[in-house]
Chain A
Amino acid sequence: MLQFFEEFKAIFEYASGVTDDPPPRGQSWMRSPLWWGIWWAILILLIVAFSGQSSKFIYIDF
C-alpha cells in the first residue's frame, strides 16, 4: 500500500513539474512524447472547464 502511494506521488510530482526525474520504475510510458501531449491536452481542457467564468450564473437552462 505504501509503495502504491509512493508511486502515485512520484507520478504526480513528475507530471506536475515538481521534479524532472521520472518515476523510478514501471512508468516508462511517462517519458513518451505521446503521454506529454495527452497530459497537456487534459490540462487545457480542465482549464477551459473550470476557469474563466466571469459572471455569476443566474440562468442555467442551457
Chain B
Amino acid sequence: MKREVIIAICCTAVMVAAANFAVGRAASNSVPRQLMRKINAAGPVIDVLGIGNSLMAAGFDPTAAQDTFQKAGRSVIAVNGGLGATTEIEQLALTRLALRQHTVRDLVYGFCDLQLTTGVPLKNSELIGNRAMLYYLEPQLTLRYGRFDLLNRLEFQTYRCCALLRERSNIWAKVEKMRRAMEEVGMPRQETNQFGRRADFNLLESADSNEFARHCREKMTSGDLLSPVLQELFQEAEASGSRITVVEMPMHPLHVSRFYGLAAWKEFRSQSRLAVERAGAVYIDGSGWVPDEGDFQDHLHLARSGAARFSRLLAEELLRRGAYGAPRAR
C-alpha cells in the first residue's frame, strides 16, 4: 500500500512538473515578454521612449511621432514602452531595461490623475497579468518598493521559482475569457477593446468628484506628490543622460469636465508640476489635447486616431523644446 502511494505521488509530481514546464513555455510570448523583446530589439539609440501604463500603451503611436519628426527634418526612433495594468515598479524595471542596453534621448512618462503618487502596499496575489513580470524582471525592485509583509515576501519568493504559480494568470485569463463567452450566450454582446470590456474601465475612475477631490487633498496634506519609485526612475534616466518629460495623458472629455475643473485638482496639479520639475523633469499637461470623444476607445484609453493625434502633438512639443536641433516656431 505504502509503495502504491509513493508511486501515485511520484506520478502526480511528474505530471505537475510537466504542466509547470508547459505553462512556462506558453508564457514565453506573454505581453510583458513581447515588450521586453521589442525594447531589446530597438537600435542602440532610442530617441523617444514612452513609458507608462495602458494610457501610454494605447496612447503613444511611435509611427505618428516619427513622421512628425521626419517632417521637421529629423529622423528618430520612437518606442512605445507602455504596458497595460502596470504600476510604477514595472515601469521602473522596463526603463532600467531600456537604459541598460540603449541610449535613451527622451524619456516620456505618461500618467493620469494621482498616478504619480505612492500606491497602496503590494500583495503577492495582485501580481497577475502583466504585473507577473515583477517575478522575473528585476525582482529585487519589487522587494525594495513593494512594501510586502513577511507572508507576501515569502509567497513572492516561492512563486518566482514555479512557472505554474508565476504565470497562473495566463491560465486564469483563458478561463475568464471562457466565462465571458458563456455569460454572453443568449445576451447582447458586450463591447470590448484591446484591453478588455469597455464598460469595465469606468470602474477605474473615481466614483464621484467629491471622492476625487478628497484624494487630491489627502495627497497634498501628506506631501506624497511623487512616489519614491518614480523619483528613482527619473534619477536613473537623468544619470544616463536622458531628458525626462512627464505628460498628463489625454483624458476623455467627460473625465476632464468631471474632475479636472475641481479646485482641489488644480492645486494638486500645480504642486505635482513643482515636484516633477524639482526632480529634473519637464511637466506637460496633455489632458485636453484630444477633445473629441470619438478619439477614445473607452473612458480612459485613446483610440488609434486619438493616439496618432496625441503623438503628433507630443512630437511637436519635443521639437519645440529644441531637443532635436534648432527650436522651431509653432
Residues of A whose CB lies within 8 Å of any CB of B are 33-34, 36-38, 40-42, 44-45, 48-50, 52-62
**Chain A contact residues, majority secondary structure:** helix
A38 and B54 alpha carbons, distance in the complex (Å): 41
A-B contact pairs, 5 of them (CB 8 A): A33-B11, A34-B7, A41-B12, A52-B168, A62-B85
Minimal Cβ-Cβ distance residue in B for A34: B11
Docked-complex contact B176 and A41, CB < 8 angstroms: no
Docked-complex contact A34 and B173, CB < 8 angstroms: no
**Chain B contact residues, majority secondary structure:** helix
Given the known A-B contacts A33-B7, A37-B7, A54-B125, are A61 and B12 also in contact in the complex, defined by CB atoms under 8 Å?
A: no
* Count of chain B residues with a beta carbon within 8 Å of a chain A beta carbon: 44
Docked-complex contact B177 and A60, CB < 8 angstroms: yes
Docked-complex contact B176 and A50, CB < 8 angstroms: no
Residues of B whose CB lies within 8 Å of any CB of A are 3-5, 7-12, 14-16, 19, 30-32, 54, 84-85, 123, 125-126, 128-130, 164, 168-173, 175-177, 180, 194-197, 200-201, 203-204
Instruction: Please give, as numbers and ranges, the residues of chain A lying within 8 Å of B201 by CB-CB distance.
Output: 58
A40 and B15 alpha carbons, distance in the complex (Å): 9
Given the known A-B contacts A37-B9, A41-B19, are A62 and B126 also in contact in the complex, defined by CB atoms under 8 Å?
A: no
Docked-complex contact B130 and A37, CB < 8 angstroms: no
